[in-house]
Amino acid sequence: SYELTQPLSVSVALGQTARITCGGNNIGSKNVHWYQQKSGQAPVLVIYRDSNRPSGIPERFSGSNSGNTATLTISRAQAGDEADYYCQVWDSSTGVFGTGTKVTVL
Amino acid sequence: QVQLVESGGGVVQPGRSLRLSCAASGFTFSSYAMYWVRQAPGKGLEWVAVISYDGSNKNYADSVKGRVTISRDSSKNTLYLQMNSLTAEDTAVYYCARDPNSGYSLGWFDPWGQGTLVTVSS
């Protein structure tokens, strides 16, 4: 089965840039979506189809996808960005989530 | 606005069954594929099942295949998840979510409901 690997945690200083990777075999050939989940809340979509932001998501959130790695970038990190982040793809009509990354803003 | 509200969770004994519901509002329910996703306590997200806009296509995660059935009732704007032969490994918050595009696109999950907790314990 297809697997997506994310770092367990990423720390970023307030106002700096955080990059969260999502590794998968030839993931560049798939559409990657990213979700933010704050403590005790339901997940929220922050990036769809590699690099598109839904309405209401700040421009500070951006995404890229190439080769075996997709990346979610959070620029000018704010305290409110502290959350778990998950990447997601479809493989043979099966949904696959990444292992999840906890982002801490210092 | 689009709203999804799950219900039906609770404490259930191993081996028993449970049916979850997801009431949809704010959009034409019969036009969109729908999903169930679960999250065990302290763990990551796990996709469970998908159903096409008209109910003609369904697919399941291997971890639940044969024990779980996804269905929908467009007259009630409601999505269901029938779960049988429950085990402790099924303990999780269960979320329903909508596909962004009408039809059957296997896109992304947006929006999500608030979730309903299922605890399998004797």
Under an 8 A CB cutoff, do A43 and B113 touch? Answer: no
Q: Report percent pLDDT > 90 for chain A.
A: 99
Let me know: does A89 contact A34? Beta carbons within 8 Å: no
- Please tell me what DSSP assigns to residue B30: G
Work out whether strand B18-25 and strand B78-83 pair parallel, antiparallel, or are unpaired: antiparallel
In A, residues 6-65, which contact B (CB 8 Å cutoff)? 31, 33, 35, 37, 42-45, 48-49, 54
Instruction: Supply the pLDDT for residue B106.
Output: 86
User: Average pLDDT in the A29-38 region?
Assistant: 98
- What pLDDT shows up at residue A101? 98
B11 pLDDT higher than 80: yes
* pLDDT of B55: 93
Instruction: Write the pLDDT tens digit of every residue in A57-85.
Output: 999 999 999 999 999 999 999 999 999 99
Q: Is B108 exposed, middle or buried (0-12, 13-18, 19+ CB in 10 A)?
A: buried
Taking the C-alpha atoms of residue A21 and residue A37, their distance in angstroms, rounded to an integer, is 16
Q: How confident is the model at residue B75, as a pLDDT?
A: 97
- For A84, the closest chain B residue by CA position comes to B44
As a whole number, the mean pLDDT across chain B is 96
